[in-house]
Chain A
């Protein structure tokens, strides 16, 4: 059961290369989305290893707040080509 955590961390390491290399900002945000997704699964497996239920609250918080932070990053990254607000 423990080596699942190791595999997940290695996967996160691989996805971080995409955050470094990503040509456009959108690839970086996509890679960040995948990383925060993998962390949720990391916590669920960690909680099931220790079989403590309150660690799952943490996974719910990760799902909600990771989503929220990302949404705002994406929303305000928009180039506002339509809005024509080119300072």
Chain B
């Protein structure tokens, strides 16, 4: 079963690469990353399948909004003409040499890179010990919130920096952009009505994913992205400019500081070990839930800002 779907994924990625029009390329990329999410599910990781499914949706939204501001996505011919202006240098250096190099590295990689036997020592160690050390039932959440908290902190830091970069690079002033009910999207009344029904489901589902992130598949990131999906649905219904972007940005940075403080206090300073044994599991569960909730809210706020800044870029 997995081989058939992996071949399907190969076909979609080949089409992503050899497609001429940008619109079809974005569609194929969306399709190939949804199939990749199915492959993660069959490889035994529902957490990543959720993260990849949300990632594919957000990447497509960012591409479509970003590229659409400047090109009419349908007829890209007008915009790709300037590739011909430069005189063509020799074909060999441009196309055949990289082909040889990449095939060469591919052959070397396949034959020599992968060790044949893989030992499961670390896997068995973690799977036996993670409920005692960190608590909770989801090994993946226990790892990225307990054993490897450093990585989560730096990943959260990178998200903060990404949001700062997007906020500063997209020059945006309300006066020039035609405000009012984002007139290009004259969605039909029925669409607005049904999106109003679906939107609350997304935020409730996001909170559910965050709440039992450490019990079953889910966690801070997927829950945060689901909550951000509520605000993306809200974009259809209300005006773009009523969200206080600057305040949200400051709130997100503040939450990041709390995350670092929380991780420093409990894991590094070993606060959890001082708790008397009877309350140990309770303390662990509280820690996991609060960390998941903080990461979820931070990821949600980050992507809300990302999305609303992208939408509000004025088209020149």
Contacts and interface: CB of A to CB of B under 8 A. Distances in A.
B229 A77 contact: no
Nearest to A83: B184
A36 B34 CA distance: 8
A25 B23 CA distance: 8
Contacts of B11: 16
A58 B60 contact: no
Interface in A46-82: 46, 53-55, 57-58, 60-62, 64-69, 71-73, 75-80, 82
Given A32-B30, A65-B229, A77 B23 contact: yes
Given A19-B31, A32-B27, A79-B72, A69 B56 contact: yes
B53 A6 contact: no
Contacts of A60: 205
Contact of B15 (A6, A20, A35, A68): A20
Contacts, number: 130
Most buried by B among A72, A75, A85: A72
A37 B171 CA distance: 38
Contact of A73 (B26, B71, B201): B26
B148 interface: no
Contacts of A19: 27-28, 31
A80 B27 CA distance: 19
Given A6-B1, A57-B218, A32 B31 contact: yes
A54 B198 contact: no
Interface in B1-42: 1, 4-5, 8, 11-12, 15, 23-24, 26-28, 30-31, 34, 37-38, 41
Q: Please provide the 4 A-B residue pairs with the shortest distance between their CB atoms, ordered closest to farther.
A: A54-B216, A65-B57, A69-B57, A76-B68
